[in-house]
Amino acid sequence: MDGVTRAGVDGVIYGDATAQFNLRLLINSATPSIKKQAQAGLNAARAAVSEKCEAARRHWIADKAPALAQTGGIKLAQASHVLERAAVHQVLMGDFELTCADGQVVKVAQLLDNPHRWHNTRFADPLDPDADKRVAVARLLNGTRPDLFSHRHGGMRYELRRQSARVQLGRGMRVDATDAVLQVLRDRSELFDFGSNAIVFVADGKATPVSRDWLVDHAGRVAEFYSVKTERDDDGNVTSTREIPEDAPTYIANAIIAKHGSRNFLKLTAVTTAPTLRPDGSVFDKPGHDPTTGLMYVSAEAYPLEVPSAPTVEQALDALAKLWHPIRLFPFADEVAVGVTLATMLAACLRPALPTCPATGFDAPAAGTGKTLLAKCIGALATGSDVAVLPPTNEEDECRKRLFAALRGGSKVLLWDNVREPLGNSVIDSFLTSSLFADRVLGVSENVELPNRSLFLVTGNNLVLTGDTHRRILLARLDAQIETPFKREFEFDPFTAVCSNRQALVMAALTIVRAYIAEGRPKVAKGRIASFELWDDLVRQPLCWLRERMLESGRDLADLPQFVDPADSIDRAASENPETSKLAALLNAWIASFGTTPTSPAQAIIKATEVFGAQSVLFDALDEIAGQNGKLNVRILGRWLERHAGQLCTGLRLVLGNKTNGLKRWTVVRTVERAATEKATPIVAKVAPSCEIQDVDDTAGASQLDDVEIF
């Protein structure tokens, strides 16, 4: 121990001198000069025994090769090559034999052929099988290349590979060589067709795109390339032939990438690291690829949880309590916010199976209320870890690029944090209602279609949704009702609670949906949300069904949330949509000013400015729509009217009255319900007295009224 003390820093002894000593603490505390000396000593020690180690390896290979050749039915040279790759490169080829914990001997190829059978199985160390037979574990379904991790020798990772195919290269053999490599890749099932023409591999639980350089490197790992050199004498007679090792050629990778639709790789739609449901509601909880849906489940869990196929209502309520527990302290403003949040949690667990899914926006009146934290908690349900934050943008080209890049990078959750401007554009609208999203890859003059299975989350203070986006984003409002919400303290960290219990929380979400399916999928919520039909069937309806069962159960509801239909958020957003407010104001002012008389945009502006004046309701409505640089623009008004033609609002709708010489005249008509209401309760319009409307020439009106000044 004195020697250890002298090697330490400042004479400090780390650990209990009478117990086992942790040398790692000593190594980490060493100064750079001591570490350099230690590394030099380690290199010298290795060099001193290198010849002895090499001789031991040769002896081990020579001793084991004959038995491997005999049992495997392979040549002695091939058996020696298999053993050499294991000892020198930590690569176990298909013919390498492993010893199970129960003494059974299996080949690496058997593990690779049946990964579900052998995943997480214990084995003896591959180079020292006579020692502890539980020291190594096979990891076959972790979303990375299959390997065997042994705790011997300080921890060693052995890559598991099939026997490499041999591919001959030569003049006139390009097509044959490409076909041979393509068949090897199909047999290995490590690459997938993703969307229309993208190739991906699965790593770290997500789909990662394949580049040409990556594919060249991968081809060199799965196949041995060679060419044949022929020696001839002076008379042209063949005297000898020999094989020359070759690198994987680039042209093979280019040809495989270019084979759109004819590679015949397995189709991949989404990757999940937790159990989920298929679109038909059946349980998908066995690691591996599901050819029917294109889903792939990769799991690092030694004993993955199983979803009950027909849970009871009581089990569903218990699951709801478990799902609610880690987020119960967030200051939800009302029951709509709770319903939206619960729906988003279910959607996070089901998103791989949902072709389309509404986004969720978390908003609050002040910063520091917990919007981003709540969004990250829900994102962790989908990923099992923290999610990256993307800067928001409303500019359509940039928005398309960011969304496409995120999908191409395998992002399962897109979090647009701290949105400050009104949110809404055609790109976001199409992204949320499309199962495929296309854009051009940077540097490549072609479009690529990618499956869209990402959960879209948005945060911001007092979020405003514009246009059609308001029906595609559910809003959950948080309100701490204090001036400094960022100073609050909580008894636990909800994000840590979600991450540490993620599998159990996912099981809870799936239990709720399976209980609803077991009851026959009763339709409880009214209507069906267009563009999100499957989400409505597997998320909204189960929640509304469980709410009814919860109220009927007679159970103590102290540990359960109070919530309503999450679709109520859409109705609320529609009423608060700025475009809807503009339309309502215009329709009411228009019918009060012009009755049923067809009126052109130019006529409307003239009457609002020259007759009614700047204090009229009509003027205010037109100014909200067509005001520009202190003036009213007739072209802006005309285009706006065309976009909103036929849209029903407050019992009124705008229709085209007539069109003469290219001049469109509009009129507002009442619905039956609106007419009945007005008959019962006459409405007095607060506008100036009506006057006769003079016709305005289309060409002259447009040129003269583009810049009508506001008085």
pLDDT tens for each residue of 100-117: 988 889 998 888 888 878
As a whole number of angstroms, the distance between CA 673 and CA 665 comes to 25
Burial 535-554 (b: 16+ CB within 10 A, else e): bbbbbbbbbbbbbebbeeee
Assign 709 a pLDDT band (cuts: 50, 70, 90).
very low
Q: Residue 472: helix, strand or coil by DSSP?
A: coil
**Which residue, among 78, 39, 36, 86, has the nearest Cα to 60 in the 3D structure?**
86
Alpha-carbon 395 to chain mean position: 22
Residue 683 pLDDT grade (very low, low, confident, very high; cuts 50, 70, 90): very low
Q: So what's the pLDDT on residue 575?
A: 67
How confident is the model over 143-164, as pLDDT tens digits? 667 889 888 877 788 988 877 7
Residue type, 439: D
Give the predicted TM-score (pTM) of the model.
0.72
pLDDT of the residue at 16: 52
Cα–Cα dist 476/654, whole Å: 32
Q: What is the pLDDT of residues 306-333, one digit of tens each?
A: 788 889 999 999 999 999 999 999 999 9
Taking CA atoms, 36 is separated from 12, 13, 26, in Å, by 21, 21, 14
Question: Looking at the predicted structure, is the pLDDT value of residue 129 above 60?
Answer: yes
pLDDT at 11: 46
**What is the crossing angle of helices 502-518 and 371-383, to 10°?**
80
**Where are the chain's structural domains?**
2-30, 34-89, 165-268, 313-571, 577-709
Q: Above pLDDT 70, what percent of the chain?
A: 87
The DSSP call for residue 266 is: E
Task: Give the pLDDT mean for 397-421.
Answer: 91
- pLDDT tens-digit readout, 242-262: 888 899 999 999 999 988 878
pLDDT tens across 624-664, in order?
888 887 778 888 888 888 888 888 888 888 888 888 777 88
In the predicted model, what is the mean pLDDT of residues 439-444? 70
Q: Which CATH architecture group holds 313-571?
A: 3-Layer(aba) Sandwich (3.40)
Distance CA 490, CA 328 (A): 11
Closest CA to 579 of 440, 422, 699, 685: 422
Q: What is the distance between the terminal CA atoms of the chain, rounded to a whole angstrom?
A: 94
SS3 letters across 334-397: CHHHHHHHHHHHHHHHHHHHCCCCCEEEEEECCCCCCHHHHHHHHHHHHHCCCCCEECCCCCHH
Q: What percent of the chain has pLDDT over 90?
A: 34
Res. 610 pLDDT band, cuts 50 70 90: confident
pLDDT confidence of residue 693: 42
Q: pLDDT per residue over 69-85, tens digit each?
A: 887 677 787 778 778 88
pLDDT greater than 60 at residue 68: yes
Distance CA 351, CA 360 (A): 13
Tell me what the pLDDT averaged over the chain comes to.
83
CA 507 to chain centroid, in Å, comes to 19
What is the rounded CA–CA span in Å between residue 143 and residue 201? 9
Highest mean pLDDT among 301-305, 306-310, 376-380: 376-380
d(CA 76, CA 62): 10
The least confident of 274-278, 322-326, 561-565, 707-711 is 707-711
pLDDT tens-digit profile of 498-526? Answer: 998 999 999 999 999 999 999 999 999 99
pLDDT score of 345? 97
Q: Would the pLDDT of 668 be above 70?
A: yes
Q: What is the pLDDT of residues 460-510, one digit of tens each?
A: 998 888 878 888 999 999 998 887 887 777 777 899 999 989 999 999 999
Instruction: Tell which wins on pLDDT, 287 or 402.
Output: 402
pLDDT of residue 562: 93
* Token pair listed for 106: 């299996």
Residue 572: pLDDT band (50, 70, 90) is confident
d(CA 673, CA 679): 10
Share in percent of the chain as helix, strand, coil (round to 5):
45, 20, 35
Residue 704: predicted pLDDT: 42
